[in-house]
Amino acid sequence: MDQEKASAILSSIEMKMSAVLERNHGKIPAVARNGKYDNRADESIRWDDDNGIAWWTNGFWGGLMNQMHVLSGKGYYIEECMGSEELMDRCFSSPSFMGLHHDTGFMWLPSSVFRFVLTGDREARRRGLEAATLLSGRFNPEGFIRAWNADGDNLRNGWVIIDSMMNISILFWASKETGDPRFRKIAERHADSVMKAFIRENGSVRHIVEFNAETGAFEREYGGQGYAEGTRWTRGQGWGIHGFTNTYLHTGESRYLEAAKRIADSFIISIPENALIPVDFDQPETPWYEDSTAAAIASSGLLTLAEASGKNEYAEAASRMLDALSSKRADLSPETDGILQKCTGSYHGTNDREINFTYADFYFIEALMKITGQYIRIW
């Protein structure tokens, strides 16, 4: 995809999002079904039912607003992001606080930290640092950041997921912002543990690994949101590409760049001819589910990896996927909410298959902005 095409798509997206915002002002959408957003800021939704204010993607609505501000310069996008942050402040107090877990990076980096980078607002900075502090508090001294909280009798206190490689970017930011090396050291220790335990011999990555919480020893993997244990959940591959590349850029340590390249090489050889990405590269032919989210995340990560490594094949693979997304999966109509279609949360899910996710749109736009040179690095 060339700059001219990417620029034209972004112009259409900004026109669409202006209308979308008018319909959804004051909400925090996560999902669009049949062209209509939900609202995770609805106070009638309990914080602990996985749909409320502590939902892990809630920062991406503010992130979309920040992106639109960069594209258009219009102040009302920044105001909308600030409003979403104020709604999310409920997460910093009980009982919503108890619903937070390792995804505080996803929640406050695209929203508060991004807005701080754009405006210098001190409240945005405070929120970002509070989120980073909460994330660092989940660090187990055996070398990993705990993912989720207990689920009934299942403590899950040794569980880690590949998504965490994106969340640790808020720790690198906090370390640079405050001059405190503890945030960075936690991020690096965690990245080393993930690199050792998650990357398979074939270069693919596991979704969930359980460590022994007392010793840090690897105990087992879980299939998670992919097809089965041992398979290649595509969104997880995207998190790995993007996350290890980010970690390399923050640290300059070549081991992280090599990890990102291994995952990317494994991903690229599995891209289908039509460049539309399945939920899992190892899923059966039927039922077949697609995940545009995985394509968008991997594309954005591959573009950065191409620049970091000097290997144009990564940018070429990203371009193939972005061309497929823009021509076959992007709804640019101002009359509907949500952009990318056929996004899937998990292969075995019940109500999260082939719909729209705000974070898919965020990474799609992020990738396009990298092509046009408008990207502002936040990860």
pLDDT band at 1 (very low <50, low <70, confident <90, very high): very high
DSSP string, 217-235: -EEEEE-TTSSSTTS-BHH
Assess whether pLDDT exceeds 70 at residue 291: yes
Region for 203 from its dihedrals, namely left if φ exceeds 0, alpha if ψ lies in -120 to 50, beta otherwise: left
What are the chain's domains?
3-372 (1.50.10.10)
pLDDT at 93: 87
- Residue 48: its pLDDT value, please? 66
Round the average pLDDT of the chain to a whole number and report it: 97
CB 282 within 8 A of CB 204: no
Judge whether 193 and 215 are in contact, CB under 8 Å: no
**Percent of the chain whose pLDDT exceeds 90:** 94
Instruction: Output the pLDDT for position 211.
Output: 98
| Cα 224 to Cα 312: distance, rounded to the nearest angstrom | 32
- Helix ranges (H only) for the chain are 3-24, 59-72, 75-88, 104-108, 114-119, 122-136, 164-167, 169-178, 181-198, 234-251, 254-268, 292-309, 312-324, 358-372
**pLDDT-above-70 percentage for the chain:** 99
Q: Residues 80-96: pLDDT tens digits?
A: 999 999 999 999 987 86
Q: What is the pLDDT of residues 228-250, one digit of tens each?
A: 999 999 999 999 999 999 999 99
Sheet holding 159-161, edge to edge: 159-161, 208-211, 218-222
Which pLDDT score is estimated for 34? Answer: 95
pLDDT of res. 8: 98
- Tens digit of pLDDT for each residue in 184-207? 999 999 999 999 999 999 999 999
Tens of pLDDT along 131-169?
A: 999 999 999 999 999 999 998 899 999 999 999 999 999
Euclidean distance between CA atoms 319 and 248, whole angstroms: 22
Query: H or E element: which one contains 357?
Result: strand 356-357
Distance separating alpha carbons of residues 174 and 141, to the nearest angstrom: 19
pLDDT attached to residue 140: 98
pLDDT, tens digit, for every residue of 256-274? 999 999 999 999 999 999 9
Segment 308-321 mean pLDDT: 98
For the entire predicted model, the pTM comes to 0.98
Residue 51 confidence (pLDDT): 80
The 10s digit of each residue's pLDDT in 41-63 is 998 887 666 689 999 999 999 99
